[in-house]
């Protein structure tokens, strides 16, 4: 058994940093050793293990603290928060006026993050129109001129100089209040900015990313687009990735039976891996994250109805493992943190992913993702300089078979893997994330026989790679 204590000490963040004041804690940055991965400003590797957690369940932070505690106990170190809606929304009464009581809530949020050593990605805005659209939840009419704002309509909010200056003043307010805080992973301009009803969101982003960097020079800056579920989104993501100042290439993708793309309707690991591959194939040397994922009813009409049956957490497992093993800078970040992760008590899965990546330094390894052919498994490989990781997923076990059809996962025995050209060592470490058990197997030539497992299993090869 490999002690998970090593993970907290080496991979995720130094344990001692829990005791540091905010000014003494290192910041998250893109690694200068390999720009596809993150590290802390003191050189410690950082893999963002966590999820979306937009707001607390009640009218105070107690419920969110319970979630933070459960995540932290299970080796999580990252949460994404929305500041532009509901509980944390400081600009809600009048355009350009910021609520001091809501600011205190954000201060409390940052205190919780420091307490549990969780880095926060703070998303600034999420509305999609100023009142012209049909989605009432997505409206923000206070920015209209007739309501005391600066915009004549949504397009004017993004394209008009007065509205841009107003947003920049909001950035000034955030910087004065919450700037230079290393517990902040980074600042995200907008949630799914391409879903706005009108206006040149790309030009607006090109203006505002440098503004973010100017005000938060020690934090990452980023932008996000909507769910990658149509062919047109492929080109949109590819066109968006080269935008200067966007430190992290983010993608959103869900299991969605109403999606145009067939890949979104199939196995979750394949959908997650494909989304990461599309961004990696741009050749832009930046970290890639599957920043939102999970499962929804057709065309995002609600949470997936089969969530209630997924008490084993197979969807969460695939969202966590598939992106990282496909070349992303971290695991995927699930969306339905409350009605899926917490309600089904699936927090253990974060620790199971963390166990596989403990004491890894991805930037030093220079991992190269690839796939191994196998008649029964999808074998994802991260080939590094001194460590090679494999994640083996049973291709005959999916959300469809297990959740929709009620077919239990098959116990696979005597499964053999040919590790030709991957390692020269004889002893191979194997981890069963469903049992939370490590074991060792002996390679016979270039072949190993895996211990009995169901659904998936992970492998670490520590020997130097063959040339």
For 376-410, write each residue's pLDDT tens digit.
Answer: 999 999 999 999 999 999 999 999 999 999 999 99
**What's residue 462's pLDDT?**
78
- Residue extents of the structural domains in the chain: 5-365, 370-461
Instruction: Enter the pTM of the model.
Output: 0.93
Residue 200: the pLDDT is 96
Its CATH architecture, for the domain 5-365, is Alpha-Beta Barrel (3.20)
Residue 463: predicted pLDDT: 58
Q: How buried is residue 420: exposed, middle or buried, by Cβ count under 10 Å (0-12/13-18/19+)?
A: exposed
Tokens of 201: 């969101």
The mean pLDDT value for 245-255 works out to 98
Q: Above 90 in pLDDT, residue 300? A: yes
**pLDDT at site 422:** 83
Q: What angle do CA 170, 174, 175 make, to 5 degrees?
A: 115
DSSP assignment string, 286-327:
S-EEEEEB-EESGGGSSB-GGGGG-TT-HHHHHHHHHHHHTT
pLDDT at 446: 87
Question: Among residues of the chain, what percentage have pLDDT more than 70?
Answer: 93
Tokens (6 digits) for 238: 């590819």
With cut-offs at 50, 70 and 90, classify the pLDDT of residue 254.
very high
Torsion 82-86-91-95 (CA) sign: positive
Model pLDDT, residue 156: 96
pLDDT value of position 424: 58
Q: Residue 450's closest CA among 433, 430, 435?
A: 430
pLDDT above 80 for 67: yes
Note the pLDDT of residue 296. 98
Query: Is residue 455's pLDDT more than 60?
Result: yes
Q: Phi/psi at 243 (nearest 5 deg)? A: -55, 125
Residue pair 399/294 in contact by the 8 Å Cβ criterion: no
Q: What is the pLDDT of residues 349-367, one digit of tens each?
A: 999 999 999 999 999 999 9
pLDDT in tens, 314-338: 999 999 999 999 999 999 999 999 9
C-alpha 232/C-alpha 215 separation (Å) is 34
Place of tokens 């609520």: 99
Listed in sequence order, the DSSP H helices in 188-256 are 201-215, 231-240
pLDDT surpassing 80 at residue 202 = yes
SS3 43: coil
Fold of 370-461: Immunoglobulin-like (2.60.40)
225 has pLDDT over 60: yes
**Within 13 Å, how many C-alpha atoms sit on residue 271's CB side?**
32
In this model, does residue 11 exceed pLDDT 80? no
pLDDT digits (tens, 9 = 90+) for 16-30: 334 444 458 999 999
Same CATH fold assignment for domains 5-365 and 370-461 = no
Tens of pLDDT, residue by residue over 41-52, are 999 999 999 999
Nearest by Cα to 109 from 166, 177, 198: 177
What is the per-residue pLDDT for 413? 97
In this predicted structure, what is the pLDDT of residue 197?
A: 81
pLDDT single digits (tens) 83-128: 999 999 999 999 999 999 999 999 999 999 999 999 999 999 999 9
Mean pLDDT of the 159-165 span: 97
pLDDT at 1 over 70: no
Mean pLDDT score across all residues of the chain: 93
The sign of the dihedral angle between the CA atoms of 193, 198, 201, 207 is negative
The mean pLDDT of 245-265, rounded to a whole number, is: 98
pLDDT at 206 over 50: yes
Predicted pLDDT of residue 437: 98
The residues near 384 (Cβ < 8 Å, ≥ 6 apart) are: 362, 365, 366, 367, 368, 465
Return the number of other C-beta atoms located less than 10 Å from residue 455's C-beta. Answer: 21
């Amino acid at each position: 058994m490999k002690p998970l204590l090593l993970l907290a000490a080496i991979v995720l963040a130094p344990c001692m940093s829990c005791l540091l004041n905010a000014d003494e804690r290192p910041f998250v940055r893109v690694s200068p050793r390999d720009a596809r991965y993150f590290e802390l400003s003191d050189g410690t590797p950082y893999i963002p293990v966590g999820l979306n957690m937009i707001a607390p369940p009640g009218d105070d932070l107690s419920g969110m603290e319970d979630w933070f505690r459960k995540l932290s106990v299970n080796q999580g170190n990252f949460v994404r928060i929305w500041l532009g809606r509901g509980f944390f929304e400081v600009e809600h009464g009048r355009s350009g006026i910021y609520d001091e009581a809501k600011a205190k809530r954000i201060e409390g949020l940052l205190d919780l993050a420091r307490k549990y050593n969780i880095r926060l990605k703070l998303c600034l805005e999420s509305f999609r129109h100023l009142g012209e659209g049909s989605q009432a939840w997505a409206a923000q009419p206070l920015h209209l001129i007739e309501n005391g704002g600066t915009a004549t309509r949504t397009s004017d909010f993004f394209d008009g100089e007065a509205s841009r200056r107003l947003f920049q003043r909001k950035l000034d307010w955030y910087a004065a209040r919450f700037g230079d805080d290393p517990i902040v992973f980074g600042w995200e301009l907008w949630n799914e900015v391409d879903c706005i009803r009108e206006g040149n969101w790309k030009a607006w982003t090109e203006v505002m990313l440098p503004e973010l960097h100017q005000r938060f020079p020690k934090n990452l800056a980023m932008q996000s687009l909507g769910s990658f579920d149509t062919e047109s989104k492929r080109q949109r993501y590819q066109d968006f990735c080269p935008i200067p100042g966007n430190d992290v290439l983010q993608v959103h993708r869900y299991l969605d039976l109403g999606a145009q793309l067939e890949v979104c309707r199939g196995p979750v690991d394949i959908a997650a891996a494909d989304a990461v591959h599309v961004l990696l194939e741009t050749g832009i040397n930046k970290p890639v994250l599957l920043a939102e994922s999970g499962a929804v009813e057709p065309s995002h009409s609600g949470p997936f109805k089969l969530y209630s049956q997924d008490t084993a957490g197979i969807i969460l497992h695939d969202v966590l493992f598939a992106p990282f093993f496909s070349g992303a800078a971290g695991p995927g970040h699930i969306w339905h943190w409350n009605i899926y992760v917490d309600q089904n008590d699936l927090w253990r899965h974060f620790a199971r992913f963390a166990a596989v990546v403990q004491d890894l330094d991805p930037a030093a390894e220079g991992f190269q993702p690839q796939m191994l052919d196998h008649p029964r498994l999808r074998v994802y490989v991260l080939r590094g300089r001194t460590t090679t990781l494999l994640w083996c997923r049973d291709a005959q076990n999916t959300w469809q078979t297990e959740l929709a059809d009620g077919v239990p996962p098959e116990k696979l025995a005597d499964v053999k893997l040919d590790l030709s050209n991957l390692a020269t060592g004889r002893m191979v470490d194997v981890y069963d994330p469903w049992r939370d058990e490590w074991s060792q197997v002996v390679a016979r030539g270039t072949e190993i026989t895996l211990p009995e497992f169901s659904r998936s299993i992970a492998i670490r090869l520590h020997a130097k790679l063959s040339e």
